């Protein structure tokens, strides 16, 4: 983890610096929280050609693409309007360049900026062009909580598992959590005792047993109403 942050911050001797945010990073949404928390204290640059790309995607017939793009436009608006975040638009469109990735790389070179993305291929291409890149998936992995057998976690079980009577939920970083005997708790939040953690070729999987269901607090106006009777 130390080497990750050393690589991230030592590429530029100046604290922060400019960072161009691409369409995937904006649509992902985590960048706003990172910027708001000051954990990533950059001068954020949101290119107009990225906003234009999101507007086109927001009209897609594919609901997942459409919703992701709309979230990206909302995040861009919030970053640009939030007084606690240093963010600005970049108006140059690079009409002579057709590839979105090439536009981002050229803009980064022109502004002496990093690129923040969630796209592995863009990160690799930019690095080949000597442009510093921060992949927010790497950041999430570097700062993810490490769970060990015996630890407890609270999680919402989203669907049935592949094996008998299992249920599955997901952590914020996408890690799959399998609850044994959890089928009847699908759609509910539970406290899970971790029994094992397995590393697979596609990522990490956490297995656990349910200790109890998290009871939802129901708000009532009964006391307020009774005071006026």
What are the structural domains of the chain? 2-143 (3.40.50.1010), 152-213 (2.40.50)
C-beta of residue 207 within 8 angstroms of C-beta of residue 196: yes
pLDDT of residue 16: 60
33 or 45: which leads in pLDDT: 45
Helices (H) and strands (E) in the chain, counts: 9, 10
pTM for this prediction: 0.65
pLDDT of residue 197: 92
C-beta of residue 51 within 8 angstroms of C-beta of residue 161: no
Q: What is the mean pLDDT of residues 212-217?
A: 70
The dihedral of CA 105, 111, 114, 115: what is its sign?
Answer: negative
pLDDT higher than 60, residue 180 = yes
C-beta of residue 54 within 8 angstroms of C-beta of residue 68: no
Reading the block at residue 23, the tokens are 């369409």
69 or 174: which leads in pLDDT: 69
pLDDT of residue 48: 97
pLDDT of residue 3: 47
Q: pLDDT-based confidence at 6, cuts 50/70/90? A: very low
Task: Name the DSSP letter for residue 16.
Answer: S
81-90 burial string, b = 16+ CB within 10 Å, else e? Answer: eeeebbbeeb
199 φ/ψ sector (left φ>0, alpha ψ -120 to 50, else beta) = beta
- What phi, psi does 163 have (nearest 5°)? -100, 165
Q: What is the pLDDT of residues 7-26, one digit of tens each?
A: 444 444 344 699 999 999 99
Could you tell me which of 124, 149, 136, 185 has the C-alpha nearest to residue 32? 136
pLDDT of residue 174: 77
Q: What is the pLDDT of residues 144-160, one digit of tens each?
A: 778 899 999 999 999 99
pLDDT of residue 30: 85
Distances (CA, A) of 19 to 29, 43, 76, 110, 128: 16, 6, 14, 12, 18
Query: In angstroms, rounded to a whole number, what is the distance separating the alpha carbons of residues 212 and 190?
Result: 6
pLDDT of residue 129: 92
Q: pLDDT-based confidence at 192, cuts 50/70/90? A: very high
């Amino acid at each position: 983890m130390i080497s990750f942050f050393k690589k991230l911050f030592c590429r530029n001797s100046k604290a922060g610096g400019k960072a161009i945010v691409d369409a995937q990073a904006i649509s992902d949404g985590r960048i706003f929280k990172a910027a708001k928390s000051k954990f990533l204290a950059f001068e954020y640059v949101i290119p107009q050609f990225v906003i234009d790309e999101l507007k086109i995607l927001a009209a897609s017939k594919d609901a997942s693409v459409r919703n992701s793009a709309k979230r990206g436009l909302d995040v861009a608006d919030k970053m640009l309007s939030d007084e606690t975040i240093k963010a600005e638009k970049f108006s140059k469109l690079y009409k002579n360049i057709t590839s979105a990735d090439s536009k981002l790389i050229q803009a980064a070179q022109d502004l002496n900026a990093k690129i923040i993305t969630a796209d592995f291929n863009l990160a690799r291409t930019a690095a080949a062009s000597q442009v510093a890149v921060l992949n927010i998936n790497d950041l999430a992995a570097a700062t993810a909580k490490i769970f060990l057998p015996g630890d407890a976690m609270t999680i919402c079980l989203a669907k049935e598992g592949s094996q008998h009577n299992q249920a599955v939920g997901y952590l914020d970083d996408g890690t799959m959590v399998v609850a044994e005997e959890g089928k009847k708790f699908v759609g509910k939040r539970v406290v899970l005792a971790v029994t094992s953690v397995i590393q697979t070729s596609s990522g990490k999987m956490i297995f656990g047993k349910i200790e109890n269901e998290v009871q939802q607090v129901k708000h009532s106006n009964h006391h307020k109403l009774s005071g006026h009777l």
